[in-house]
Chains A and B, each alone.
Chain A
């Protein structure tokens, strides 16, 4: 597994147009990103297409990375997830395709905030387990599979507004739990 510094370095080189670095970046990260995309898209052919789209965004937006507060892997996974969700929803309905990279904000948190966030990341599994089982499953379904409120409401057999209330309450409890 590549180190954070290595991935950061490869992204920085890609931003300068270094194709060899981009090739190495792909080799180091594509299996993880493909796994993330497959969770959303299930179908291998669409997932391959989305993986290419995601890496095209990584190449084109590499220069924006340093301004972003996320870790390099989180930055790339966010692009992959959003690209996969764009593909999923384009397939289902006709929603305007967002540029996944546009969804990445360029806030620069203080090191302290970043450290807190990193510590919290490790706690999410434990905190999700504190929720009722189906509530935790709904949060996971939204994050890992890109499921919408309508989609979740249908599979949990509840009205859409109920699902939204559920999920928002779950997110609030999650946040409280992770801040403890």
Chain B
């Protein structure tokens, strides 16, 4: 014999209501839950009471939680504030996971500076990469020193050419940060004027004649680009 919702004894329906309202004492609650797993008709009663009572939700006013609650939630769930959306959007990220960049950033800093207490200065990173990954640089901005430290992890300048680094603020002309040396690591000072808007900067590397662009603007092909993001 099948048991449809209509065959439910009245008592079970009320028990389901008490269950939904959290009115059962712990022993009753446990007994009810044990039955629930076995009896679909009882589960349907719970669903029905949940829906019936949900009409009361409409009368509850919305209250916006403080923004810090969301940050805290994401830290609890994911271990860090959610800052990944840029990278996901940029689509530059397939080759390097955030974890490996964090590790690389850590080592880039380690290799460039003597051990010292890490200042709580803002840390920003950028992966400046060619679409085909033929040229790739990792940039870490050290707020305490006002420097961008660079590590080239793939590619280099063509024969008889140099690589020049540019910082581009929104709706502004590129500002040269200098010609990159042959070494795979280097550090350049970020002009004071660009530091405030750091998080909105895009870094780019162009192909230039020896000595760098003669005009003050990129003259050769832009080989690699990357936006700056807080670490």
Binding site for B on A (CB under 8 A): 19-20, 23, 26, 30-32, 34-36, 38-39, 48, 51-52, 55-56, 59, 68-71, 73-74, 77-78, 82, 85, 95-96, 98, 102-103, 105-107, 109, 113-114, 117-118, 120-125, 139-140, 142-144, 146, 148-149, 164, 167-168, 171-172, 174-175, 178
Whether B65 pairs with A70 at a CB distance below 8 angstroms is no
Whether B60 pairs with A39 at a CB distance below 8 angstroms is yes
Query: Which of B76-84, B120-128, B151-159 is found at the contact surface with chain A?
Result: B76-84
Residue of A nearest to B65 (CB): A34
**Contact residues of A: prevailing secondary structure:** helix
**Residue of A85, A95, A103 with highest tally of chain B CB at under 10 A:** A103
Decide if B91 is an interface residue (CB 8 Å cutoff).
no
Question: Of A32, A56, A172, which is within 8 A of B62 by CB?
Answer: A32
The CA of A107 and the CA of B65, in the complex, are separated in Å by 32
Query: Which of B39-47, B186-194, B204-212, B216-224 is found at the contact surface with chain A?
Result: B39-47
- Known A52-B72, A107-B46: A168·B14 in contact at CB below 8 Å: yes
Decide if B18 is an interface residue (CB 8 Å cutoff).
yes
Decide if B73 is an interface residue (CB 8 Å cutoff).
yes
Whether A109 pairs with B47 at a CB distance below 8 angstroms is yes
- The interface size bin for chain B is 35 or more
Whether A56 pairs with B76 at a CB distance below 8 angstroms is yes
- What's the least CB distance linking B98 to chain A, in Å? 12
Whether A107 pairs with B76 at a CB distance below 8 angstroms is no
Whether A121 pairs with B63 at a CB distance below 8 angstroms is no
Whether A144 pairs with B55 at a CB distance below 8 angstroms is no
Whether B48 pairs with A30 at a CB distance below 8 angstroms is no
The CA of A123 and the CA of B52, in the complex, are separated in Å by 8
Whether B78 pairs with A144 at a CB distance below 8 angstroms is no
Within 8 A of A (CB), among B1-30: 5, 10, 13-14, 17-18, 21-23, 26, 29
Decide if B54 is an interface residue (CB 8 Å cutoff).
yes
Decide if B171 is an interface residue (CB 8 Å cutoff).
no
**Residue of A70, A121, A149 with highest tally of chain B CB at under 10 A:** A121
- What's the least CB distance linking A28 to chain B, in Å? 11
A residues within 8 A CB of B40? Answer: 107
A residues within 8 A CB of B10? Answer: 172
The CA of A96 and the CA of B22, in the complex, are separated in Å by 13
Residue of B nearest to A179 (CB): B52
The CA of A125 and the CA of B54, in the complex, are separated in Å by 10
Decide if B177 is an interface residue (CB 8 Å cutoff).
no
Decide if B57 is an interface residue (CB 8 Å cutoff).
yes
Whether A117 pairs with B73 at a CB distance below 8 angstroms is no
Question: Of A19, A39, A178, which is within 8 A of B52 by CB?
Answer: A178
The CA of A59 and the CA of B13, in the complex, are separated in Å by 31
Whether B47 pairs with A125 at a CB distance below 8 angstroms is no
Decide if B95 is an interface residue (CB 8 Å cutoff).
no
Question: Of A26, A59, A85, which is within 8 A of B70 by CB?
Answer: A26
Decide if B112 is an interface residue (CB 8 Å cutoff).
no
Question: Of A23, A52, A113, which is within 8 A of B69 by CB?
Answer: A52
Other A-B contacts than A34-B64, A48-B72, A120-B52, 12 sampled, CB-CB below 8 A, are A30-B65, A34-B63, A34-B65, A52-B72, A74-B50, A107-B44, A117-B51, A118-B51, A121-B51, A142-B21, A167-B23, A172-B14
